[in-house]
Protein backbone atom coordinates (compact mmCIF):
# COMPACT_ATOMS: atom_id res chain seq x y z
CA UNK A 1 0.00 0.00 0.00
CA UNK A 2 2.75 2.38 1.04
CA UNK A 3 4.73 1.49 -2.04
CA UNK A 4 1.71 2.04 -4.29
CA UNK A 5 1.09 5.52 -2.88
CA UNK A 6 4.77 6.33 -3.26
CA UNK A 7 4.75 5.12 -6.85
CA UNK A 8 1.68 7.24 -7.68
CA UNK A 9 3.24 10.35 -6.11
CA UNK A 10 6.50 9.73 -7.94
CA UNK A 11 4.57 9.32 -11.19
CA UNK A 12 2.81 12.65 -10.72
CA UNK A 13 6.06 14.37 -9.88
CA UNK A 14 7.75 12.89 -12.95
CA UNK A 15 4.85 13.92 -15.17
CA UNK A 16 4.96 17.44 -13.79
CA UNK A 17 8.67 17.81 -14.44
CA UNK A 18 8.69 16.21 -17.91
CA UNK A 19 5.61 17.97 -19.38
CA UNK A 20 6.67 21.33 -20.79
CA UNK A 21 4.97 24.10 -18.89
CA UNK A 22 2.57 26.03 -21.10
CA UNK A 23 3.94 29.51 -21.57
CA UNK A 24 1.99 32.33 -20.05
CA UNK A 25 -0.17 34.40 -22.39
CA UNK A 26 0.66 38.09 -22.31
CA UNK A 27 -1.08 41.10 -23.79
CA UNK A 28 0.79 43.21 -26.34
CA UNK A 29 -0.01 46.58 -27.84
CA UNK A 30 1.22 48.85 -30.61
CA UNK A 31 0.01 52.39 -30.19
CA UNK A 32 1.52 53.64 -33.48
CA UNK A 33 0.03 50.74 -35.45
CA UNK A 34 -3.27 50.85 -33.60
CA UNK A 35 -3.83 47.31 -32.41
CA UNK A 36 -3.37 44.98 -29.46
CA UNK A 37 -3.26 41.22 -29.16
CA UNK A 38 -2.26 38.39 -26.84
CA UNK A 39 0.29 35.62 -27.35
CA UNK A 40 2.25 33.07 -25.33
CA UNK A 41 5.99 32.81 -24.87
CA UNK A 42 8.84 35.18 -25.60
CA UNK A 43 8.54 37.56 -28.55
CA UNK A 44 10.95 37.88 -31.45
CA UNK A 45 10.79 40.74 -33.91
CA UNK A 46 11.66 39.72 -37.46
CA UNK A 47 12.06 41.76 -40.61
CA UNK A 48 11.11 40.30 -43.96
CA UNK A 49 9.58 40.97 -47.35
CA UNK A 50 6.26 40.30 -49.00
CA UNK A 51 5.93 40.25 -52.74
CA UNK A 52 2.76 40.01 -54.78
CA UNK A 53 1.57 41.31 -58.17
CA UNK A 54 -0.62 44.15 -56.88
CA UNK A 55 1.35 44.99 -53.74
CA UNK A 56 4.78 44.75 -55.33
CA UNK A 57 7.73 44.18 -52.99
CA UNK A 58 7.05 45.31 -49.42
CA UNK A 59 8.89 45.33 -46.11
CA UNK A 60 7.27 43.35 -43.33
CA UNK A 61 7.63 43.38 -39.58
CA UNK A 62 6.71 40.18 -37.79
CA UNK A 63 6.10 39.75 -34.07
CA UNK A 64 6.74 36.04 -33.64
CA UNK A 65 6.16 33.67 -30.75
CA UNK A 66 6.52 29.90 -30.37
CA UNK A 67 4.99 27.74 -27.72
CA UNK A 68 4.38 24.00 -27.58
CA UNK A 69 5.14 23.62 -31.28
CA UNK A 70 2.63 26.23 -32.30
CA UNK A 71 3.98 29.26 -34.14
CA UNK A 72 2.17 32.54 -33.59
CA UNK A 73 2.89 35.51 -35.84
CA UNK A 74 1.56 39.00 -36.26
CA UNK A 75 2.70 40.21 -39.67
CA UNK A 76 2.48 43.91 -40.52
CA UNK A 77 2.90 44.97 -44.15
CA UNK A 78 3.26 48.67 -44.81
CA UNK A 79 1.12 49.78 -47.75
CA UNK A 80 0.44 53.36 -46.80
CA UNK A 81 1.52 54.66 -50.20
CA UNK A 82 -1.04 52.47 -52.01
CA UNK A 83 -3.70 52.33 -49.32
CA UNK A 84 -6.35 53.51 -51.79
CA UNK A 85 -6.25 50.01 -53.23
CA UNK A 86 -6.82 48.43 -49.83
CA UNK A 87 -9.61 46.06 -50.85
CA UNK A 88 -7.59 44.39 -53.59
CA UNK A 89 -4.40 44.38 -51.52
CA UNK A 90 -6.19 42.61 -48.69
CA UNK A 91 -7.95 40.25 -51.09
CA UNK A 92 -4.62 39.39 -52.67
CA UNK A 93 -3.01 38.61 -49.30
CA UNK A 94 -5.94 36.43 -48.28
CA UNK A 95 -5.94 34.63 -51.60
CA UNK A 96 -2.22 33.89 -51.36
CA UNK A 97 -2.59 32.54 -47.82
CA UNK A 98 -4.89 29.78 -49.06
CA UNK A 99 -3.58 29.32 -52.60
CA UNK A 100 -2.36 25.77 -53.24
CA UNK A 101 -3.47 24.60 -49.81
CA UNK A 102 -6.48 22.70 -48.56
CA UNK A 103 -8.95 25.32 -47.35
CA UNK A 104 -10.71 24.22 -44.18
CA UNK A 105 -12.48 27.47 -43.27
CA UNK A 106 -12.97 30.91 -44.84
CA UNK A 107 -15.28 33.25 -42.99
CA UNK A 108 -15.92 36.87 -42.17
CA UNK A 109 -13.72 38.40 -39.53
CA UNK A 110 -15.16 41.49 -37.90
CA UNK A 111 -13.33 43.29 -35.13
CA UNK A 112 -14.04 46.80 -33.88
CA UNK A 113 -15.59 48.11 -37.12
CA UNK A 114 -12.89 46.45 -39.21
CA UNK A 115 -14.05 43.80 -41.65
CA UNK A 116 -11.53 41.19 -42.66
CA UNK A 117 -11.43 37.44 -43.11
CA UNK A 118 -10.47 34.42 -41.06
CA UNK A 119 -9.13 31.35 -42.80
CA UNK A 120 -7.83 27.93 -41.85
CA UNK A 121 -5.68 25.88 -44.21
CA UNK A 122 -3.88 22.57 -44.10
CA UNK A 123 -0.29 23.08 -45.19
CA UNK A 124 1.05 20.91 -48.00
CA UNK A 125 3.17 17.82 -47.29
CA UNK A 126 1.62 17.41 -43.83
CA UNK A 127 3.31 20.63 -42.76
CA UNK A 128 0.64 21.37 -40.16
CA UNK A 129 -2.44 23.56 -40.01
CA UNK A 130 -2.50 27.36 -40.15
CA UNK A 131 -5.21 29.69 -39.02
CA UNK A 132 -5.01 33.26 -40.28
CA UNK A 133 -6.88 36.53 -39.91
CA UNK A 134 -6.36 39.45 -42.25
CA UNK A 135 -7.29 43.09 -41.78
CA UNK A 136 -6.36 46.38 -43.44
CA UNK A 137 -5.98 49.24 -41.03
CA UNK A 138 -4.23 52.60 -41.18
CA UNK A 139 -2.59 51.77 -44.50
CA UNK A 140 -1.21 48.43 -43.37
CA UNK A 141 -2.18 44.80 -43.69
CA UNK A 142 -2.25 43.29 -40.22
CA UNK A 143 -2.30 39.54 -40.34
CA UNK A 144 -2.33 37.08 -37.45
CA UNK A 145 -1.20 33.57 -38.30
CA UNK A 146 -1.03 30.60 -35.97
CA UNK A 147 0.46 27.34 -37.23
CA UNK A 148 0.13 24.06 -35.39
CA UNK A 149 3.20 22.08 -36.37
CA UNK A 150 3.10 18.29 -36.81
CA UNK A 151 5.23 17.92 -33.66
CA UNK A 152 2.25 19.29 -31.73
CA UNK A 153 -0.34 17.50 -33.82
CA UNK A 154 -3.40 18.79 -31.96
CA UNK A 155 -4.98 20.51 -34.93
CA UNK A 156 -8.18 21.17 -33.02
CA UNK A 157 -6.43 23.09 -30.26
CA UNK A 158 -8.28 26.21 -29.12
CA UNK A 159 -5.00 28.12 -28.73
CA UNK A 160 -4.87 29.18 -32.38
CA UNK A 161 -8.38 30.60 -32.20
CA UNK A 162 -7.52 32.33 -28.93
CA UNK A 163 -4.58 34.07 -30.62
CA UNK A 164 -6.46 35.03 -33.79
CA UNK A 165 -9.44 36.36 -31.86
CA UNK A 166 -7.32 38.33 -29.40
CA UNK A 167 -6.81 41.19 -31.87
CA UNK A 168 -8.42 44.50 -31.10
CA UNK A 169 -8.19 47.76 -32.99
CA UNK A 170 -9.51 49.80 -30.10
CA UNK A 171 -6.33 50.06 -28.09
CA UNK A 172 -8.33 51.19 -25.06
CA UNK A 173 -9.54 47.60 -24.92
CA UNK A 174 -6.00 46.32 -24.32
CA UNK A 175 -5.03 45.23 -20.84
CA UNK A 176 -3.42 47.88 -18.66
CA UNK A 177 -0.24 45.83 -18.43
CA UNK A 178 0.00 45.25 -22.20
CA UNK A 179 3.59 45.28 -23.44
CA UNK A 180 4.38 47.81 -26.16
CA UNK A 181 5.87 46.06 -29.19
CA UNK A 182 8.72 47.80 -31.02
CA UNK A 183 7.44 49.87 -33.94
CA UNK A 184 8.32 48.76 -37.48
CA UNK A 185 11.75 50.12 -38.36
Partner 1 sequence: MRNWMLAAIVSPAIVMGSLAAEAQSAWRSYIVKELGFSFSAPGKIETSTGTFRGEVAGPRQTMIFKSNVNNIEYKVTVMSFKQAQGEGASILGERTYMFQDKKKTLMDTYARVEPGKDSVYGRKMVVELAEGKGRTFGAFYFTNGKLIALEATVLPANGDYESPDPARFVDSIAFIASRAGDNAIELQAPKTE
Contact status: 1 vs partner 1 (CB under 8 A): no
Contact status: 165 vs partner 1 (CB under 8 A): no
Stretch that binds partner 1, among 4-12, 82-90, 151-159, 173-181 (CB under 8 A): 82-90
Contact status: 92 vs partner 1 (CB under 8 A): yes
Smallest gap, in angstroms, from Cβ of residue 141 to partner 1? 9
Smallest gap, in angstroms, from Cβ of residue 25 to partner 1? 27
Count of positions on this chain that bind partner 1 (CB under 8 A): 27
Contact status: 101 vs partner 1 (CB under 8 A): no
Smallest gap, in angstroms, from Cβ of residue 147 to partner 1? 22
Closest CB to partner 1 among residues 85, 152:
85
Contacts 24+ apart (CB under 8 A), 165-169: 165/133, 166/37, 166/38, 166/39, 167/35, 167/36, 167/37, 167/111, 167/133, 167/135, 167/142, 168/35, 168/36, 168/37, 168/111, 168/112, 169/34, 169/35, 169/111, 169/112, 169/113, 169/114, 169/135, 169/137
- The beta strands (E) that lie in 44-124 are given as 44-52, 56-67, 70-78, 102-111, 114-122
Q: Contacting partner 1 (CB under 8 A), which of 9, 11, 95, 153?
A: 95
Return the closest-CA partner of residue 35 out of 180, 170, 183.
170
Point out which residues bind partner 1 (CB under 8 A).
53-54, 56, 83-92, 94-95, 106, 108, 110, 113-117, 135-136, 138-139
Amino acid sequence: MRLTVLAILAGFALATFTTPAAAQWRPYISHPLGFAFAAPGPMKVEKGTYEAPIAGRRQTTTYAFTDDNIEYKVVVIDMRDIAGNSASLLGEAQYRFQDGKKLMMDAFGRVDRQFGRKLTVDLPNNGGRSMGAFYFINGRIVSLQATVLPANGDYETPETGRFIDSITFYTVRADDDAIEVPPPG
